């Protein structure tokens, strides 16, 4: 037998999924924040022992990690320097000269990854069209290289003006640094982000240089650890854009791992949606620290060409580090199972964004004292204290009660009111963020299906869907480890970009066609190095377009067999249509220009047939439990079912609690549910189901008796 294993390191738990001839087995292990690799290696040993998996039978391991994101947040990376064109030393601090909060007089700026004493200038100049104005000062390059070595620099980012148009100076400078200061890691902005916008390109190169030595060491340690256990040398890594590559390839472009874990969850949501013939989905991943939401339209997760990380004001755009790299678009909400309830500035109950994490964790874990969302869920009857993680971890209900009572004393509420209030607050926060995200994309959330996963997702998804007016909810099997499963069904993928500005109607197509051919050849080579069979690669091309005078673009697919002047009318029509779908209007007579040319090469994973082992014999009803439901504003005796005993059957009227090892599905009284042949729990709301109004009169504080 041969197995593939997916491993997702989260803030609280590290998840393991193995697929053997289509049969899925899962395991959860507490994350070791100080050194995540310890939890990974210890967890896979325990998992293999429990499932009797011989390590030589593992054909591949696909890993997603929070290492890169945490390194940026905590500023825990390599001693990094920057070499840039004369006059641009301070671009990391100047940024876009914008304030993310106009009214904060004590605004905190994100600290640059590279301090000013380690930022250096060099004489050279390339114009925006790629023409050399001033040659590279090679003598100064030699002096700078030796200075880097004297200062103990471990990694250097090279970002020269307009290198996206002509990378020759960057490449020559990289050669000189490599020769004069061997051992220093070198990142060229023209390799990492060959696009215009100097600040974002410099920030991306600096971030890659900052995290790459750490990522390389971490992945090499994991590879060695797996080899020592007897597993074959086949470690792959999930990337932020939803594709998989080899560990060695990932180490070169380490910044692409910044959202690797959450991207796997979106892949899993799309996978289960396709199996059900559903293509418009909202992916909802709620774990121990945060909730992440992504939109899947026509079966494809929406992507963005850049993102922002390590924000000092967590949910304020412009307060973090911009990165120019393709990423599955996700919004992060500071509500997870470990989110802590506290007294706000006005004396009212608030929840998050601070999390108890894995250590000490929620109060019910027995080590913490702060009341968290998980403690509220336990108090309200959604969680079984004797069956958390399948019974391998017993929850301390009394400690949770004490924490809620202590919080209640601070805000003038009882423990019961605190639990109800916390549950209501987080659900409304997530529903509001989800509604805003979907509407900003020009869609009505009621026309989408919600796919819930993560340890806490199925617990809260019913209420979130109720607030949004969504009529269908899917809870896939093993929802608590969906990201790890998503790694195993994700394609090998490479995304490349090239900035080449031109007015539509005046585009010089010869260099465009030649460059796209070069990009395709490079993408195929990268796929091959990443471990993919390039003979079955799919190639997608697109161009980012905008109306003349605008600052940002809309991607337009290039579906034509041949590119040239004959396609310009078709391109303009496609752009106008996509622009109108996004913004509700279009400027039919305005000039249009092409900015970035993009190419994606993808090799789909081998067709994965997934089944989940059950001992289904019928008779899945385990017990009844007193459970609180906000729509009734009261407790009811709720049927509790064992998910592993469920069989595909007719609709069942809610309320119900459906327990599995990694999570619990909460179904309220306004819905019916059933299990399909694929093992999904499908929850449908009544036709009379209406979205909950979101206005100032909604009871956010939970002050109920």
Query: Cα–Cα distance between 223 and 397 in angstroms, integer?
Result: 40
**How high is the pLDDT of residue 517?**
94
**Residue 270's pLDDT band (cuts 50, 70, 90):** very high
pLDDT, position 691: 57
Residue 459 confidence (pLDDT) above 90: yes
Across 338-344, average pLDDT: 92
The percentage of residues in the chain with a pLDDT greater than 70, rounded to a whole number, is 95
Instruction: Note whether 542 and 516 are within 8 A (CB).
Output: no
pLDDT digits (tens, 9 = 90+) for 144-156: 999 999 999 999 9
* Region of residue 75 (left: phi > 0; alpha: psi -120 to 50; beta: else): left
Does 114 score more than 80 pLDDT? yes
Structure tokens at 162: 């307009």
Angle ∠(598,259,445) on CA atoms, nearest 5: 80
pLDDT at 57: 87
101-110 confidence digits (pLDDT tens): 888 888 888 8
User: Do 445 and 435 meet the contact criterion of CB atoms below 8 Å apart?
Assistant: yes
Average pLDDT over residues 442-466: 93
Rounded to an integer, what distance in angstroms lies between the CA atom of residue 29 and that of residue 48?
13
Dist CA 545 CA 556 (whole Å): 7
Main-chain phi, psi angles of 665, to 5 degrees: -95, 125
CA separation for the pair 400, 376 (Å, rounded): 8
pLDDT at 689: 54
Q: What average pLDDT does this structure show over 300-314?
A: 84
Identify the CA nearest to 188 among candidates 218, 217, 219, 155.
155
Question: What pLDDT is recorded for position 617?
Answer: 58
**Arithmetic mean of pLDDT, 76-94:** 95
In this structure, the number of other CB atoms found within 10 A of the CB of residue 242 comes to 26
Q: What percent of the chain has pLDDT over 90?
A: 61
Q: Rounded CA gap, 441 and 444, in Å? A: 9
The phi, psi pair for 91, rounded to 5°, reads -60, -30
The Cβ of residue 154 has, within 10 Å, a number of other Cβ atoms equal to: 18
Mean pLDDT, the chain, whole residue set: 89
For the chain, the C-alpha Rg in angstroms (whole number) is 26
Enter the pTM of the model. Answer: 0.84
Quick one: pLDDT at residue 406?
95
Write down the domain spans for the chain: 3-71+219-255, 72-214, 339-425, 493-603, 621-672
pLDDT digits (tens, 9 = 90+) for 540-582: 999 999 999 898 899 999 987 788 888 999 999 999 999 998 8
pLDDT tens readout for residues 584-634: 899 988 999 999 999 999 998 775 666 666 655 556 888 999 999 999 999
Question: What mean pLDDT is predicted for residues 133-139?
Answer: 97
- In this predicted model, what pLDDT tens digit does every residue of 375-425 receive, in sequence order? 999 999 999 999 988 888 899 999 999 999 999 999 999 999 999 999 999
Q: Tell me the per-residue pLDDT of 62-71, one tens digit each, with 9 for 90 and over.
A: 999 888 988 8
Would you state the pLDDT for residue 356?
Answer: 87
Tell me the fold of 3-71+219-255: Nucleotidyltransferase; domain 5 (3.30.420)
The yes-or-no verdict on residue 1 having pLDDT over 70 is: no
What gap in Å lies between CA 595 and CA 578, rounded to an integer?
Answer: 16
**Residues 128, 85: Cα–Cα separation, whole Å:** 14
* Per-residue pLDDT band at 696 (split at 50, 70, 90): very low
User: What's the sign of the alpha-carbon dihedral 45, 48, 49, 55?
Assistant: negative
């Amino acid at each position: 037998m041969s197995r593939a294993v997916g491993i997702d390191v989260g803030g609280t738990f590290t998840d393991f999924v193995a697929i053997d001839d289509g049969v899925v087995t899962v395991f959860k292990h507490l994350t070791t924040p100080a050194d995540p690799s310890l939890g990974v290696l210890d967890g896979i040993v325990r998992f293999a022992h429990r499932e009797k998996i011989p390590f030589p039978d593992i054909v591949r391991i696909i890993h997603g990690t929070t290492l890169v994101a945490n390194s940026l947040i905590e500023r825990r990376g390599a001693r990094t320097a920057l070499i840039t064109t004369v006059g641009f030393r301070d671009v990391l601090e100047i940024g876009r000269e914008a304030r993310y909060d106009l009214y904060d007089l004590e605004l905190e700026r994100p600290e640059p990854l590279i301090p000013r004493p380690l930022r250096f200038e060099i004489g050279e100049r390339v114009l925006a069209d790629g023409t050399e104005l001033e040659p590279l000062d090679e003598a100064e390059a030699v002096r700078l290289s030796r200075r880097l070595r004297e200062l103990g620099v471990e990694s250097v980012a090279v970002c020269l003006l307009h290198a996206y148009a002509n990378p020759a100076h960057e490449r020559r400078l990289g050669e000189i640094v490599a020769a004069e200061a061997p051992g220093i890691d070198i990142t060229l902005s023209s390799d990492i982000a060959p696009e215009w916008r100097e600040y974002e390109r410099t920030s991306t190169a600096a971030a890659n240089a900052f995290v790459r030595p750490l990522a390389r060491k971490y992945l090499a340690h994991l590879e060695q650890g797996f080899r020592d256990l007897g597993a074959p040398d086949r470690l792959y890594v999930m990337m932020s854009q939803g594709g998989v590559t080899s560990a060695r390839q990932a180490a070169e472009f380490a910044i692409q791992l910044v959202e690797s874990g959450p991207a796997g969850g979106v892949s899993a949501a799309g996978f289960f949606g396709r199996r059900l013939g559903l293509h418009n989905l909202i992916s909802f991943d709620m774990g121990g620290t945060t909730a992440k939401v992504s939109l899947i339209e026509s079966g494809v997760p929406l992507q963005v060409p850049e993102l922002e990380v390590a924000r000092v004001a967590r949910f304020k755009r412009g307060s973090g580090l911009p990165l120019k790299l393709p990423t599955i678009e996700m919004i992060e909400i500071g509500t997870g199972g470990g989110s802590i309830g506290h007294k706000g500035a006005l004396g009212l109950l608030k929840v998050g964004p601070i999390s108890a994490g894995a250590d000490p964790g929620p109060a019910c874990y027995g080590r913490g004292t702060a009341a968290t969302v998980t403690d509220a869920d336990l108090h309200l009857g959604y969680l079984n204290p004797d069956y958390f993680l399948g019974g391998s971890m017993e929850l301390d209900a009394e400690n949770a009660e004490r924490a809620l009572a202590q919080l209640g004393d601070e805000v003038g509420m009882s423990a019961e009111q605190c639990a109800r209030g916390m549950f209501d607050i987080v659900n409304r926060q997530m529903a509001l963020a989800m509604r805003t995200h979907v509407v900003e994309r020009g869609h009505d959330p009621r026309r989408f299906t919600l796919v819930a996963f993560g340890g806490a997702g199925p617990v809260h998804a019913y209420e979130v869907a109720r607030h949004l007016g969504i009529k269908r909810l899917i809870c896939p099997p093993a929802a608590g480890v969906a990201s790890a499963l998503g790694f195993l069904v994700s394609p090998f993928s490479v995304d490349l970009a090239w900035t080449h500005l031109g007015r539509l109607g005046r585009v010089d197509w010869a260099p465009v066609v030649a460059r796209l051919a070069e990009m395709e050849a490079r993408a195929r080579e990268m796929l091959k190095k990443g471990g993919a069979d390039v003979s079955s690669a799919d190639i997608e091309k697109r161009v980012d377009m905008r109306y003349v005078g605008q600052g940002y673009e809309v991607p337009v697919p290039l579906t034509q067999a041949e590119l040239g002047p004959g396609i310009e009318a078709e391109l303009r029509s496609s752009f106008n249509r996509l622009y109108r779908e996004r913004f509700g209007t279009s400027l039919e007579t305005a000039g249009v220009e092409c900015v970035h040319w993009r190419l994606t090469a993808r090799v789909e994973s081998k067709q994965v047939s997934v089944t989940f082992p059950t001992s289904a014999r019928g008779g899945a009803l385990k017990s009844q439990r007193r459970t609180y439901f906000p729509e009734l504003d009261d407790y009811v005796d709720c049927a509790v079912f064992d998910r592993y005993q469920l069989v595909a059957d007719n609709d069942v009227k809610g309320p119900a609690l459906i327990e599995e090892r990694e999570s619990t599905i909460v179904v309220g009284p306004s819905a019916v549910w059933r299990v399909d042949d694929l093992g999904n729990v499908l929850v449908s709301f009544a036709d009379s189901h209406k979205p909950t109004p979101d206005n100032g009169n909604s009871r956010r504080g939970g002050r109920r008796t």
